[in-house]
């Protein structure tokens, strides 16, 4: 497929979205957009050398690579150290987004200032010893967002999203999708 045949940004977004399927990370729309922009630029560079976007598939998952590079900015941040106040503020932004009229989830009491415990819905994937565990979402001083069941030994899934108020809103939308069962069971990928 040549980028002259279709909209390169739409094709890049579709390729990045496909690369994200089945990976053990949830991706905020803004992260997918960034990865698609990078992929479009990589394809354009290749075309300047006579390499079509389809030819990349024979050698490497360029879409997956673009997604991984961009997502790592938000999930693997060992050089980033947020203060306790910054982490608490981000978690408060998350709680505000989760409980907003748009998202409409219930946040349960939790003594940890870097996590929000989200009440189950009937569609929430089963988790925990009795299958009735709530979801827990966190942000860390030296890392990104994550989600798991609120149970000992639960699988933790990274969420690639900016550590900002807008990122917290994107995380809340992903949490709602998990709670409603719209993403299947992301803990079993």
The predicted structure's pLDDT at residue 23:
82
The predicted structure's pLDDT at residue 2:
38
The predicted structure's pLDDT at residue 90:
95
The predicted structure's pLDDT at residue 8:
64
Going by the DSSP 8-state scheme, the letter that residue 133 receives in this structure is P
pLDDT digits (tens, 9 = 90+) for 36-95: 999 999 999 999 999 988 888 777 889 999 999 999 989 876 666 788 899 999 999 999
The predicted structure's pLDDT at residue 141:
85
> Percentage of residues in the chain with pLDDT exceeding 70?
93
Structure tokens at 28: 């905020």
The predicted structure's pLDDT at residue 79:
66
Predicted confidence band of residue 166 (pLDDT cuts 50, 70, 90): very high
Mean pLDDT of 20-26: 88
Predicted confidence band of residue 3 (pLDDT cuts 50, 70, 90): very low
Are the C-beta atoms of 150 and 167 separated by less than 8 Å?
no
Predicted confidence band of residue 4 (pLDDT cuts 50, 70, 90): very low
CA-CA distance, 11 to 167, in Å (whole number)?
24
In this structure, how many other beta carbons lie within 10 angstroms of the beta carbon of residue 182? Answer: 10
CA-CA distance, 97 to 165, in Å (whole number)?
9
pLDDT digits (tens, 9 = 90+) for 121-139: 999 999 888 889 999 999 9
Give me the chain's average pLDDT, please.
90
Are the C-beta atoms of 128 and 162 separated by less than 8 Å?
no
């Amino acid at each position: 497929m040549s980028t002259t045949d279709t909209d390169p940004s739409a094709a890049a977004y579709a390729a990045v979205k496909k690369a994200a399927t089945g990976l053990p990370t949830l991706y905020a729309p803004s992260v997918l957009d960034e990865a698609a922009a990078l992929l479009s630029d990589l394809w354009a560079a290749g075309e300047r050398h006579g390499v079509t976007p389809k030819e990349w598939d024979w050698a490497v998952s360029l879409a997956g690579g673009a997604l991984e590079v961009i997502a790592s900015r938000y999930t693997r941040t060992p050089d980033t150290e947020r203060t306790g106040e910054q982490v608490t503020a981000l978690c408060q932004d998350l709680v505000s987004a989760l409980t907003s009229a748009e998202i409409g989830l219930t946040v349960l009491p939790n003594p940890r200032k870097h996590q929000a415990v989200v009440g189950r819905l009937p569609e929430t994937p089963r988790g925990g010893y009795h299958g009735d565990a709530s979801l827990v979402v966190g942000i860390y001083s030296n890392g990104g967002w994550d989600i798991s069941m609120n149970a000992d030994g639960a699988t933790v899934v990274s969420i690639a999203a900016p550590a900002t108020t807008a990122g917290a809103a994107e995380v809340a939308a992903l949490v709602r999708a998990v709670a409603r069962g719209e993403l299947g069971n992301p803990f079993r990928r």
